[in-house]
Structure 1
Amino acid sequence: MNAPDRFELFLLGDGEKKVTFVPETRVPNAAIFTFNKEDHTLGNLLRARLLKSPTVLFSGYKVPHPLFATFELRVQTDGSVTPKEALGQACRDVVQDLEKLSQEFTKEWELKKIANTGREA
């Protein structure tokens, strides 16, 4: 009843940015990225990918409030790369992983269709 329409949770409004970046002043080589109109799915995916990098010392995310589709991702590096560069590389890695998953899924789907076609004959 009071809840916003589902599409409003994920469509950006006029002048809204998808990601904002704030350097962390209390910790060296750290930053906080706020993702707008996203949820745990992307937050956990990026956190896990960042932790696989040898240059990332810390990566974690939190959802400030469950009714608002935003999360904050905190990244700390060893100084050899900036947090922004580490996040960019993590995003590229995730896209590559998803492309590989899509290719493998399509290949298996086609093989399944071929196998089922042989049984029908």
Structure 2
Amino acid sequence: MNAPNRFELFVLEDGEKPVEVTEDTKIPNAATFKIVKQDHTLGNMVRAQVLSMPQVLFAGYKVPHPLHPYFLLKIQTDGTMTPQAVLEQACTKLIATISSLEAKFKREFSFKTTEGNVPEDPYGTTGAGAQSWGTGKDYLDF
């Protein structure tokens, strides 16, 4: 089959750089970043974070071919910041957002495990008897 080995999709080879920058000579304040060993997941998150910054005029990414594990990210700014600085700041904000989401998830998950010892029943019954219809809850209330 034409597909590369799985480990080649995410393990950097010796001397391989994770990010390569190419300055755009035709468009002012623009650069193209080749981010290797990544796919649409990271590409879309970084693009969205870069676009949320007011200094950015354009940001887009593409995966040239599905069998090649890299994507190209193009950023154009208004000139107040360089595309490299914008990408660095966007990645820092993205890491902070993901860390916050992870902390919230862990907190909510810990609440779930510490709630009472009564197991939840998705059908509205508790113990051996069924719940009465007049209580305002039905089998869809979890």
Q: Tell me the TM-score normalised to structure 2 length.
A: 0.81
* CA positional deviation for 1:5: 1.4
The letter for the 2-side match of 1:119 is V
SS of residue paired to 1:118: coil
**Stretches of structure 1 lacking an aligned partner (at least 5 in a row):** none
Identity %, equivalent residues: 50
SS of residue paired to 2:33: strand
Higher relative contact order (CA 8 A, sep 6+): 1
Looking at structure 1, the residues matched to 23 and 3 of structure 2 have their Cα atoms a distance apart, in angstroms, of 33
Q: Which runs of 4 or more aligned residues in structure 1 lie more than 4 Å from their structure 2 counterparts after TM superposition?
A: none
The structure with the larger Rg is 2
Looking at structure 2, the residues matched to 13 and 98 of structure 1 have their Cα atoms a distance apart, in angstroms, of 27
SS of residue paired to 1:7: helix
Greater share of helix residues, 1 or 2?
Answer: 1
Q: Which residues of 2 match residues 18-97 of structure 1 at below 5 A? A: 18-97=18-97
Looking at structure 1, the residues matched to 51 and 21 of structure 2 have their Cα atoms a distance apart, in angstroms, of 19
Say what the alpha-carbon RMSD is for the aligned residues.
1.0
Q: Tell me the TM-score normalised to structure 1 length.
A: 0.94
Count of aligned pairs: 119
Structure 2 equivalent of residue 104 of structure 1: 104
SS of residue paired to 1:16: coil
* CA positional deviation for 1:118: 3.4
* CA positional deviation for 1:3: 2.0
